[in-house]
Structure 1
Amino acid sequence: MVSSSFLAPFLFMTLLLPAISNSQTVTKQEEKQTLLRLRSDWGNPQALSSWNSTTSDYCSWIGIVCTNGFVAEISLRRQNLNKPIPAAICDLQNLTRLDLYYNNLPGVFPTVLYNCSKLQFLELSENLFVGKLPADINLLSPRLAYLGLSGNNFTGHIPSSIGQLPAIKNLQLDNNLFDGSYPAELGNLSKVEYLTLAYNPFAAARIPPEFGNMTSLKFLWMSQASVVGKIPENLANLTELELFDLSMNSVTGRIPGWVWKLEKLRNLYLYANKLCCEINGTIGALRLEEIDVSMNLLTGSMPEDLGKLRNLSLLFLYNNQLSGDIPSSIGLLPMLEIVWLRNNSLTGVLPPELGKHSTLTYLDVSSNKHVGKLPEGLCSHKALTALVVSQNNFSGLIPASLANCYTLESVQLDRNDFSGAFPTTTWSAVNLTSVTLYDNAFSGTLPGKLPQNLLNIEIQNNRFYGSIPLLPSNLVIFKASNNSLSGKIPNKYARNSLLEIMLLDENQISGTIPSEISSLKFLTVLNLSSNQLIGEIPSSIVSLPSLTTLDLSKNQLSGTIPQQLGNIAFTFLNLSVNQLSGEIPMWLQNHEYERSFLSNPGLCSSPNFAAVLHHCKDTMDGSDKLLRRLIILSVFLGGFALLSIAAFTIQKVKEYRQREKITDSELGAPKLTTFYAIDFTEQEIARGLTEDNIIGSGGSGKVYRISLGNQVEEIVAVKKIWNSRKLDAQLEKEFQAEVEILGSVRHANIVKLLCCISSSGSKLLVYEYMENESLHRWLHGQEMMVSGSSPLDWSRRLNIAIGAARGLCYMHHGCSPPIVHRDIKSSNILLDSEFRPKIADFGLARMLVKTGEPESVSAVAGSFGYMAPECGYLRKINEKVDVFSFGVVLLELTTGRRANDMGEHGGLAKWAWQQFQEDGGLIYVIDEVVQVPAYLYTVEVVLKLGLMCTGPSPSSRPSMKEVLQVLTWCDRRHRTSITANNELEIA
């Protein structure tokens, strides 16, 4: 018999079990209701459609991870959530992980999360948060180990209380708008392993010595964080560091010796600072994989200990003042892939073993003082893609290994003392895009067929002989001046040839100029002077729509000059020293071409053209009659054109008036989508859409300046897409593109889209107002032309360039996926009251699906004068089209010229390249406003950077990250020159 004392506990448990089971059921039901409430508070987004009451198991809902049947994790990355985080989220009492990366969450930092007491992981990066971080941010869960706040719009100081989060291991604050300071209290985070403060406009400050207390730190990223002063010695305590990045700051002094002794260091990035002096001490950081200390003021020789770094794959020391020989031991490194040492004063021969022991892919030692032959094994592993050794004192023959290096894409051997036959097999590299061999003593012949991908060939001032090869259709530049080429000019060209520059002067070319040359529709520069050409100038040459430079001098050409040649607006024309005869075309008889026809005894002109002594007396009457007929015909055609334009204008005015009859009441129920906190309504915006408030108009609509109060901060700019009953499909596409991109992008140098108002009859984009309008206005506006002065001195122009570059750099390298703007121009760079720049007008922008993956486009997009050449012939483009356009903006800033005022068929980029190629010196093209002696060096550097950005080949252009590096270096150099100049004046 069982005793009652034994049964009592059993009976108690039996009675208790249903109660426990019922309690758990209620708890799970409450969690489900909490999740449904979250969906409702977030506006029932389509992404959360699986969150519904009909599904019993909420652990299977999208983004939900359960532990023991209760919600432990919520992960809703890229779900387009656009409303604040609901307070109810902390009712999920077991929530340990919340990941809301890359949404459109608005407002200030969500302090409602203070109630999530078990939270260990919080990811809020890439959202729309604004304002300051709360001073009591330490009230977040004491268990919090991960806090991601990157890519938002947080401002002000980083609160010192953040150093009171005891469990933090990963703290990401990069790519915000913090303009205060970073606190020394961060040093209290003894467990932190990953700290990012990069890309914030902090107030200039030194690194607090207390940072040396973060002894667990493995990853320190403070690129472009306004760091000044020396690297603190206390950081020597960070013995766990694997990545140390202080790039693009104003760090001074030496690189401390302890940096080179961090045993676990893999990546060292100190580029674009003011670091000086020699690299001293023994290098004990034997795990180093990447070293970039370029663009500093380093002197002395390269340390021998670099040869001990068996893991080193990337070595960037370019743009310093290094001297001496490259240590031969570097050639023995087994992992070395990329070496950039350009723009130093390095001497001696290259390491003889270089390339034999590693898969070397990129070598750039240009602009140094190297001598001797190139190493034999540079392409031993068939991986070399770029060989850049320009402007040294190399000599001898090209190594045999390079002859069969089929991986080559770029070969730049110019301005050396190389001799002997250039290997014909080198031309067989299928991916070869650029070959520059000029100013050497190369000999040999060119192959009959060149690689189709070639974009640039520069072999001038050598000893090449033989016939001219058939030019590939993608070739843009062909310079072969001053060689011994012979035979005839090819008369076959690809129908879609992209050739822009052809220089064949000072050779032994014979025969006639083929009429088929007219198929080169993009040709801007043609120089065939100092050859043995005969026959007439083909009349078909006048059909070259882009031709601006023509030099046929010092040949044996005969016959008359085609009359239509006078219709071309030449920037340079030379037909001297030939056997031409007849009358010079009337439109060429002006002072601009006074020296264009010398030493042609058979030529004659009117008495008013003093450049030619022989006057066509016998034919003057006929010429006058012809001229009068041409004038009459021109007047008739002009009148007809004016009538056509008037009729077209009247029709468009009627259509416009019809559109404007649609009143606000016809807009239907407008949909307001906000991206920032706003304190105005749709009605206030609608009332401001009056003719008096119009400040601009374009192909897609009007722009209004609407004042919502008495303060400057209460002014907005409203872009109104043309108001019609059926919105044009292209405008609808542009509108959606602008909303999608600006709604998700947040950066100090990208204009803020405050909200959009959309209905069936109207599309409105409401932006922050930029008081100083566009850069174009201040460079080229009518008031500037009238006053003859500009408030844009070089300091201000450089700051504008840097700010715009930062915005583009963020789009290309800081967004996922990257964004290509596709319409960068000076009128799309807006300026606030302090002339701080912001990129605007994203109607043509596109997001790339994957990083670095070109995008297929269906039509040419962009603005004349700013479009990269590949936009006209490639269906797939990448971010390098923006680099080209930005290069044109740099040329505008340095020359003061418009992007498209260099002739009807030319652009600023082509003109600037021509000036550089013809003269080498650029002082004469620099804007007079910035021709201040103390500024000229950095102005010329930026001008040359603009030329690099507008290179014909996308692969030859720098990335925006590299562009920004150069500009920030120029800024530091410029500020240094101003300080020195002021001190000199005081003295």
Structure 2
Amino acid sequence: MENTQLQGEVPVKLFSLPHLQTVGLKRNQLNGTLVIGMGFSNQLSLIDLQNNRISGFKGTEGYDIRIILTDNPVCEETEETKTYCVVPQSNSTSLYTTPSNSCLPTTCNSDHISSPTCRCAYPYTGILFFRGILFSDLGNSTVYVVLETSLKQFFQSNNLPVDSVSLSNPRMDLSRYFLLNLDIFPYGQDSFNRTGISTIAFVFSNQSYKPPSSLYGPYFFRGDAYNHFSDPKSSKKSTTGIIIGAAVGGSVLLLLSLLAGVYAFHQKKKAKRASLESNPFAHWDVKKSSGSIPQLKGARCFSFEELKKYTNNFSEANDIGSGGYGKVYRGTLPNGELVAIKRAQQGSMQGGQEFKTEIELLSRVHHKNVVGLLGFCFERGEQMLIYEYIPNGSLYETLSGKSGIRLDWTRRLKVALGAAKGLAYLHELANPPIIHRDIKSTNILLDQRLTAKVADFGLCKLISDSEKGHVTTQVKGTMGYLDPEYYMTQQLTEKSDVYSFGVLLLEMITGRRPIERGKYIVKEVRMAMDKTKDLYSLRQILDPAIADASLKGLEKFVDLAMNCVEDSGVDRPTMGDVVKEIENIMQIAGINPNVESATSSSSYEVASKGSTLHPYSDESFASSGTFLVSKV
């Protein structure tokens, strides 16, 4: 955790974490006395606290641990040079050592770095960002051996001027990306020329290099500035050559001056045209689309032709779902990664504001229980969003038996916890907070491990600082899940999502849709409940798939659901409280909450301004259709 504004003293317990190998806390504001203690991890090899405010160090230098405290007061206030006050000669410690790298240690000048082959050089450095790694043991050197070997072989097989590569400092950032420092060392000389750097950068920018294993997933590379270009010219310059060069330069100076203006004018026009062509939102209609162009963080713009190729021309074989907005197609990227492509059909596309909102939000929202946005397409009149592929469909498809997956009581608790965590993240950790407005079983997706992921952000609403508490807005949502208080007052709060989540919990235990044959699930459960009897006397309305099983914690689960659907928002819990309560229920059921493990309802915009009718009163279900809705 470098340069993250950490403050205070480093706790001794940090070093006793099991399997801890490296502590990297450079460039922070840590202070006090560093105490390693005697109970540190037997795998700990490096503690790097450069550039902090550490004023003391208790211990001896006899630890079998490399400790670096340079640029701290503890090193500035002593005349005696301590080993922990000296920066190691090489800051490119590789994650592994192979026999081919065996060589004698090399002492390099202060501005050089020793390569894995023990040559002093100026490497091209940067950071590899991996979006979705499939391994959790960051200390397992095997996965880095494969990656490092693959990188070196790729560079050499493509005749790039690379002698060796080095990976170091594996870590996770705040966006849950996996980061690796990459040093690339030049071949046959101590620095790269400009052509070499450009070629290497191009390899990463156009994704020519593919990681050797699916463990790493998609990636991108962010290179550092390179300031050590080799000089291709001889150091011995002929005086005659200098004179001739100056004469020729003076002769053409006037001509160049005349041509420069004309050339610059044409280049400016050309650059403007290129910018318009390359900008996916160059034709974004601010008036019709309700706002400025989307501000993106990490989402990639795909061309229509790319997506057409990835889906085999949007073939029926790749059609995996549909709804009021259009269809969803399965696509395969060149690296083999599966994606889900949500394509709005012509004539019934999502509104410009909803499309823009979903792109902006999902491009900066990163949580394991929120579906990940990989990119979008906005050209040829198309609106397409490219998501991570979720293989097991929606929770609704599973509860209804369409997916073929059986959810027992244990799995349902885990799915409920995952969905709650995703929603709590949106409410409490996203900046600014996000109200989803359309929580329902068709918008909870299940991945290959049945991990729940909140999806479909087309109706979500950002809550700014000036709108803390509630925001008055047009009522949107899905009948059956819609918060009655929001419907009647048009005042949207996070508690509106809590209500929808409570309905979802009841759906999970009954296997019934929120409104089925004119009966509303909240009213049906409330009428059938008898807290003096076993399972609250609800066995008759439980989902048959779990009705005969041991249902430890069911009563608490029902209590939580009914608390979530209280008529008044102030009486409902927060999503953070919901997460804690589900964790408690899981413990009652003997489950460790920390262990991981297609008819769709339509969304509606309710024409209800000024209405006083409760949306789920008996009149709402009458055939006369007094509850007015219009499809979004």
Q: What is the TM-score with the length of structure 2 in the denominator?
A: 0.48
Which gives a bigger RCO, structure 1 or 2 (Cα 8 Å, sep 6+)? 2
TM-score (norm 1): 0.31
Bigger Rg, structure 1 or 2: 1
